[in-house]
Structure 1
Amino acid sequence: MPIHLTLPPTFRDRIASAGRPQIGMWVCTGSPLVAEICAGAGLDWLLIDGEHSPIGLETTAALLRAVAPYPVTSLVRVPSGDAVVLKQLLDLGAQNVLVPMVDTAEQARAVVRAVRYPPRGVRGVGAALSRGARWNRVENYMADADRHVSLFVQIESATAVGNAAAIAAVDGIDGVFVGPSDLAASMDLLGQQTHPDVIAAVRSTFEAVRAAGKPVGVNAFDPSMARAYLDAGASFVLVGADVTLLARGSEALADTWIDEK
């Protein structure tokens, strides 16, 4: 007799039910061991980064399996809004996806179509073959697919800030994540994420997204900036990364134990 499995809540649902902002960190190493260690730390969510990290399809599948036993939500950042890549990631079990560099409402609508089955979208049908549907062990997966998938997009350019309200208003966009690093670069302020103009653009995006009734998040490794953005209404924030923790921690060891005199 077939087993009927239940998928965990999406990141959209976690944010809506949490009653407080969700605090998370990046997973960039591609190591399932590191991902599992981070998953058990007590954070709310992990961002598995397929854009700026050496993490492809097989590695993403391994990372999702590694963190699955823990009460943490995984959000997978895709390298682009390509419909084929989104289809593959959803099929391998990524319930929550983040699409970078979305500048317009038209681009937002395109990625919504990419994660929805026909007739509302263009997602290819392969549930019987995929971990996403647990090989058809999730009852009525295709009919309920929209309930099992959450879609977030990233605003990280001056153009996108200007279009933030329209992007957030697109049906099927579950939330917006602001990237201050690329936003600063687009404003000719490369490396100056805490410049007053960048902070003002982030806050402007917060206001536009929240006015559209959608949650908004941000990347903020600086603790003072993270707290300021939480006070400004951020619903989800990334406050660190596995690679930076390892880099700074190993540097601290060297500073403590190596005497260069």
Structure 2
Amino acid sequence: MVETVEQAELMVKAVRYPPEGIRGVGATLARATRWNSIPNYYQTAHENICLLIQIESVTGLENLDEILKIEGIDGVFIGAVDLSTTIGYQGNPNHPEVQKAVVDAIQRIRASGKVAGILSTQHEATQKYLALGTEFVAVGVDISVLMNSLRELLAKYKPDAEVIKSEGGY
């Protein structure tokens, strides 16, 4: 989670090699370099980096316009469930105040020329975000998808079993 300009600037440095950044150069042993088989990797890696930061708090939204000015940040993902907690509506990303803040953030991100993203597991909200021009929308959470499938299997083979529904905004 990024809340301040300083944190956002550190993220930019963290994904770049010296002298532009602080990323460790042990990558010659890693998959990113195809195990040291990409010529001039350190000199060209920055050309292939896409940095998406996540804003999940009121403080982050208050600093969003300044964060969006930082060169090297390609997009911003809004964490609506955590944001709902910092606004005062824990686990309720669809509360009107939270939605107002999310829509405003998406519009500011898009106006800055950066890409906007969000996690949205509810169809109506997802459609609204897509209509706003949100470029990437996560529509499921791995554990929720797994649990929903397990509940379906349980209901299919043990129809009398008690099924406990998940809560918490996802």
Query: Normalised by the size of structure 2, how large is the TM-score?
Result: 0.89
Q: Does 1:184 align with 2:96?
A: no
Shift of 1:126: 2.1
Q: Which residue of 2 aligns with 1:232?
A: 132
Q: Find the counterpart in structure 2 of residue 145 from structure 1.
A: 45
3-state secondary structure, aligned to 2:31 = coil
Once the two structures are overlaid, the 10-residue window that deviates more, 188-197 or 245-254, is: 245-254
Supply the distance in 2 between the matched residues of 1:103 and 1:147 (Cα, whole angstroms).
26
Going by fraction, where is helix more abundant, 1 or 2? 2
RMSD (CA atoms): 1.5
- Pairwise CA distance, 1:252: 1.9
Contact 1:217–1:235 (CA under 8 A) maintained in structure 2: yes
The answer to whether the aligner puts 1:258 opposite 2:146 as a matched pair is no
Give the gaps of 5 or more residues in structure 2: 162-170
What is the CA–CA distance in structure 2 between the aligned matches of 1:260 and 1:208, rounded to whole Å? 49
Identity percentage of aligned residues: 40
CA distance in 1, matches of 2:123, 2:76: 21
The 2-side partners of 1:179 and 1:145 are apart by: 28
Shift, 1:195, TM fit: 0.3
Partner residue, 1:104: 4
Aligned to 1:218: 118
Whether the 8 Å contact between 1:183 and 1:198 is mirrored in structure 2 is: yes
Q: Residue 164 of structure 1 corresponds to which residue in structure 2?
A: 64
Matched, 1:244 2:144: yes
Q: Does 1:118 align with 2:18?
A: yes
1:105 aligned partner, one-letter code: V
Structure 1 unaligned regions, length at least 5: 1-100
Equivalent residue for 2:54?
154
**Residue 106 (structure 2) aligns with:** 206
- Partners of 2:100 and 2:107 in 1: CA distance: 11
Is the contact made by 1:117 and 1:142 (CA closer than 8 Å) also made in structure 2?
A: yes
Deviations 1:108-165 (A, max 9, x none): 0011111111111111222332221112211211110111221110011011111112
1:127 aligns with 2:41: no
One-letter identity of the residue aligned with 2:76: V
